Amino acid sequence: MRLPLNRRVVFFFPSDEVIRKRLLIDGDGAGDDRRINLLVKSFIKWCNSGSQEEGYSQYQRMLSTLSQCEFSMGKTLLVYDMNLREMENYEKIYKDIGKD
């Protein structure tokens, strides 16, 4: 059975560029993208909070989420630096092997 043109379901698969950007945002796959989205939602809730207690609760959640993002970023930077040092070590080993 063929559906009329205006009734067809169209599936869009993400392009390589979209996938690459999502991976860059997500970092090491630890959910950074989700944390950033949660932080934005918490900020909006905080701005629209009705009571001082609700605002304080949202503020504490934002600080917690921000702390998790900062920790993850610091960890990613340490891994990046470690990988650079390892590449230098491998290049040195490769040159040493080439001399023999």
Name residues whose C-beta falls within 8 Å of residue 55's C-beta, 6 or more positions apart in sequence. Answer: 46, 49
Residues 3-33 pLDDT 10s: 454 544 444 555 677 666 666 665 555 667 7
Q: Would you list the domain boundaries of the chain?
A: 5-99
Residues 41-98 pLDDT 10s: 888 888 888 899 988 999 999 999 889 888 988 998 999 999 999 999 999 999 999 8
Is the pTM higher than 0.85? The answer reads: no
Name residues whose C-beta falls within 8 Å of residue 3's C-beta, 6 or more positions apart in sequence. Answer: 9
Dist CA 36 CA 64 (whole Å): 12
Give the pLDDT confidence score for residue 74 in this predicted structure. Answer: 92
Distance of CA 35 to the CA centre of its chain: 8
Name residues whose C-beta falls within 8 Å of residue 76's C-beta, 6 or more positions apart in sequence. Answer: 27, 28
